[in-house]
Amino acid sequence: MCRVPRIFLMVAAMTWICSAADQSPFNVDFFPGWDGHYRPMEWMPVEIGIAGELTQPFSGTLTVSTTQDGLNTLNISHQFVLTPDLPIHAPLVTKQAFAADKCVVRLLDERGRVQWRQTYDTLDFSGRTSAMIPVGDKDLLVGLVGNAGFGLLQMGNETICSGGPQAGQVYLATKVPRMMPWDWTGYVCLDLLILIDPDWGLFNTQQLEAICQWVSGGGRLLLVLGGRAVTPSNPIARMLPLELSELHEMTLPADVLRAWRLDSSTTETVAARSMKPVGGRWLHSIPENYQEPALYAAAPVGFGMVGVLGLDPRQFSAVQRSRAAAFWVEIIKPLLASRTHESDPAAGGPFLSLLQPNERDTLRRTIAVKSEAPAAEDNPNAPYYRQMYQIGPGWNATNMVMEHLYNIPQMRPLSIWWVILLLAGLAVLLGPVDYLLLKRYDRLPLTWLTSAGWIILFTVGAYYGVQALRGGKMQLRTVSVCDSMEGSPYAWNTTYMGLFAPYSGDFQIEGLGDRHWWSAVAPTQESIWVYNQEAGRREVSCLQHDGANLPYSLPISIWTIQCLMGEWADTQAPFEAAVSRHGDEISLTIDNRSDRPIRRGFIAFDKDRGIELPRIDARKTEQIQGRLTGLNVTRQLRGYASQQSYHDPYTGYSQTANVFSSAVVSHGCLRRTQAVDACLARRAAVVCVEYDGPPAAFAVRKHPHESHHICLARRVVFPIEDSEGENP
C-alpha cells in the first residue's frame, strides 16, 4: 500500500522537474506583417522583440520559418547578442504563402541548440482578428504612421479600390515609428505609405533611407505636414522635388476647397506650408495648374511617386467631417494613378504603352468613395471565394520566366516508350530467356539466383541509363533586368536564377552582393485555394543582416532544379545615355560602362517611334544620330532579346517564347515597367539594350558548371528638346 503514494510522489517530482526545465528565461514578442496584413508570396515585415532574465550576455541566432509558396519553405536566420536588462528589437523581412497556417520562431544558442521555440497560428477560420489577413491583387493596402485624424481611420469602411475589372477593398494598416521596417523590402507589400506629421526624432536613419529606396523602386508616399518641420538632413527631405515654405497661417481659397471636395461655403483658416517645384520638375497639384504656391503636389521620384500635403486636415472645422472620405480620395488618387489617360489628343495620337490590358489594370486601379461607386451585385458565393487567392499578371509572367529556367533537356520527362521497353526486356529475360538457358544446362533450380541477378542488372542499368539521359553538367541559368532613370541614384536589378544539379547535395553560391535580397521562387497556379495549399517541401535557408538576405546554400535533389529570385539596388547603372531632340532628329550619346558589349538596342519615344542602336563595344562611348521612324516599339520594349525555343512537354510541340516579354512584366519588374509606361506619357524616352553573353555575377562554389545568362537593361531619359516643347 505504501508503494502507491511513493509512485505518485515520484511522478509529481518528475513533472515539476520537467516543467522547470521547459521554462525559458526569454520573453519574445512577435508582430508579423503590416498590422497583420500581408500580400501572399511578397516581402512583408516581421518585428520581433526579445527580452530575458539573464545574468550574462547571450549570443545566438533567431530563426523565422514559414511556407513561402506551394513548393518552398523560407527559413530566415538573424544573429543577435542579448545583454541583461537590455531588450533588443529585430526588424526582419520574410515571405509567406496564401493560407500558410503557421510561422515557427526559434532562438538557438551558439551550438545550434534550441533555447526557445514558439509556433504561431497564421490561419484562422473562426473569424478572429489574430489571424493574418491576405491582401489580394485587386485590393489596396495603405500603411499609416502618425496621429491619424479627420476620418482617415474610417477609410477602410468608406472607400473601395476601383478601376480594375473588379472592385476591391481598402485595408488600412497602422504602425508606430519604432516598429517601421529598416529595409526597403519591408514596404514592398504596400500600395501607399502615409506619414502624418510624424515625430521625426523617433525614426532612425536606416528607416528613413529604406523609405526613400522603396519610393525610388516604385513605391508611393504621401507626406502630410504639420507643426514638425522636415530638416534638410532628413533623407526624405533630400528626396522631395519641392521647396517648402515656413509654417504660416492662411485662409484657404474657395477653389482649393472645391478641388478638395470640401464645403467651400465656410471659411477655413489653417497653419500650412506652401510648396513649389525645384529645378522645373513636373508636378501634379490640386487644383491643377494652380498659379499660387501649392498646398498639395505630387511628383515622380525615380520609379515611384511622392505627394506632399502642406497642412494637417485635423485643423478643419467640424462641418467638413462628413466630406473626409471624398477629401482623402482626391489627395490619394494622383499617387495611385501614374497615368490618367490612354491618349493625348494634343500630342497627335495615342501614347505608346508597354503593357497589355490586364497588366494595366493595376496601373488604372485607384480609390473611390464607396457611396459614389457603382453598386456591385451581391455574389452569393462571396464567402466561398474568400478562401481563394487569384494571382495577378506579374505572377503569370513570372511563370513564363520559370518555364524558360526549366527549359533544359535534363528537366524534360522521359518518354513512356523507354519504360515500356525496359519492362518488356525485363519480362523477356525473367521468362523465356532465363527458362531456356537454365533448361539447356539442366540448372532450373537456380532460377531464384538468376532472377535476382537479372533484377540487379536491370536496376544498375536503369540508374546509369537515366543518368546518361538526364545527367549532363551542372547548369546555372539566369535572366536579369536592370532599370535606371535619369536623376535617380539607384539602378534596380531583378534576377531570376535556376541551378540544375545532376547529383544531390548542398551547393553554395559565391559572388552575391552584400545588399542583395534573395528568396525562393516557384511556378504558381492562377487560383490558390485554402484547402489545397501544401506546405513547402523544399527548405531554403538564408542569413538576413545589414540590409541583405543571402542563402546559406541550396539543397538540391538529384536531377532537379532550384530557383531563386534576387532584387537589389546598385548605385551605378550599366550604361549612361543623354538625348537631345530637334523635331524628329535625334542625337544620342550612350556610354557602355559594362565589361560586356551591347549586342543591340533601341531608343523609343511615346508615339511608337524610335531608332535602332548598333553594337557598342565594352567600355566604349558612341555618338548616334538618326531620325525617328516607326519601330513597332511596343513589341520590342516588351521583349527585345533572342527568341528562345522550348519544348512543351504537355503538347509535344516546340514553341517560341521571348524571355524578356515576360521578364519585364514579371512580379519583380511590373511596377517599374508601369512607371516607364507613365514616363513615356510625359515626353520621356526609353533606351533599351541587350548585352552579348554576359556572365552571371555569381557562381557555384567548388563545382564546375555551365552558365547561361540573358541580360536586359533599360534607362529612362528626358530629352533636351530644341523645338518641341520644354524638357519635362
Domain ranges in the chain with CATH number 3.40.50: 135-374+386-390
**The pLDDT of residue 485:** 93
pLDDT tens for each residue of 401-436:
998 898 887 776 666 777 777 778 778 877 787 778
**The pLDDT of residue 4:** 46
* Model confidence band, residue 464 (pLDDT cutoffs 50, 70, 90): confident
Stronger pLDDT, 440 or 67, i.e. the higher one = 67
Per the CB < 8 A criterion, the answer to whether 525 and 385 are in contact is no
Mean predicted confidence (pLDDT) in 242-260 = 90
Stronger pLDDT, 87 or 441, i.e. the higher one = 87
**The pLDDT of residue 364:** 62
- Cα separation, 445 vs 442, whole angstroms: 9
CATH class of 135-374+386-390: alpha beta
DSSP state for residue 91 in the 8-state scheme: E
* Model confidence band, residue 660 (pLDDT cutoffs 50, 70, 90): confident
Entry pTM: 0.86
* Model confidence band, residue 518 (pLDDT cutoffs 50, 70, 90): very high
**The pLDDT of residue 183:** 96
CA distances from 532 to 3, 69, 79, 98 (A): 54, 12, 35, 11
pLDDT at 39 over 90: yes
**The pLDDT of residue 682:** 81
Most confident of 221-225, 469-473, 659-663: 221-225
* Model confidence band, residue 350 (pLDDT cutoffs 50, 70, 90): very low
pLDDT at 344 over 70: no
pLDDT at 362 over 60: no
**The pLDDT of residue 129:** 45
pLDDT tens for each residue of 599-644:
888 898 876 788 889 999 999 999 999 888 877 655 554 544 434 4
Name residue, grid cell 537479372. Answer: 454
> Cell numbers of 545, please?
543582416
* Model confidence band, residue 381 (pLDDT cutoffs 50, 70, 90): very low
Per the CB < 8 A criterion, the answer to whether 306 and 495 are in contact is no
pLDDT tens for each residue of 187-216:
999 999 999 999 999 999 999 999 999 999
Lowest mean pLDDT among 89-103, 343-357, 457-471, 707-721: 343-357
pLDDT at 537 over 70: yes
* Model confidence band, residue 13 (pLDDT cutoffs 50, 70, 90): very low
Handedness of CA 199, 202, 204, 208 (dihedral sign): negative
Q: What are the φ and ψ backbone dihedral angles of 175, each rounded to 5 degrees?
A: -145, 150
Write the CB contacts of 436 (distance below 8 Å, at least 6 apart in sequence).
Answer: none
Relative orientation angle of helices 447-470 and 416-428, to the nearest 10 degrees:
160
- The fraction of the chain above a pLDDT of 90, given in percent, is 42
pLDDT at 386 over 80: no
Phi-psi category of 711—alpha, beta or left, where left has phi over 0 and alpha has psi -120 to 50?
beta
- Cα separation, 339 vs 410, whole angstroms: 45
* Model confidence band, residue 286 (pLDDT cutoffs 50, 70, 90): confident
Mean predicted confidence (pLDDT) in 232-259 = 91
**The pLDDT of residue 633:** 52
Domain 1-130 sits in CATH at: 2.60.40.10
Task: Please list the residues that pair with 600 across neighbouring strands.
Answer: 690
Mean pLDDT of the chain: 82
Per the CB < 8 A criterion, the answer to whether 247 and 227 are in contact is yes
* Model confidence band, residue 3 (pLDDT cutoffs 50, 70, 90): low
* Model confidence band, residue 23 (pLDDT cutoffs 50, 70, 90): low
**The pLDDT of residue 207:** 96
**The pLDDT of residue 389:** 85
CA distances from 420 to 414, 417, 423, 424, 465 (A): 11, 5, 5, 6, 14
pLDDT at 683 over 90: no
Handedness of CA 669, 675, 677, 679 (dihedral sign): negative
Mean predicted confidence (pLDDT) in 646-653 = 35
Name residue, grid cell 509567406. Answer: 96
**The pLDDT of residue 309:** 93
pLDDT tens for each residue of 50-91:
998 888 899 999 999 999 988 899 999 999 999 988 899 999
Per the CB < 8 A criterion, the answer to whether 698 and 508 are in contact is no
| 506: enclosing H helix or E strand | strand 505-507
- CA angle (605, 608, 610) in 5-degree steps: 50
pLDDT tens for each residue of 113-165:
999 999 998 876 554 445 788 998 888 999 999 888 888 888 888 898 887 66
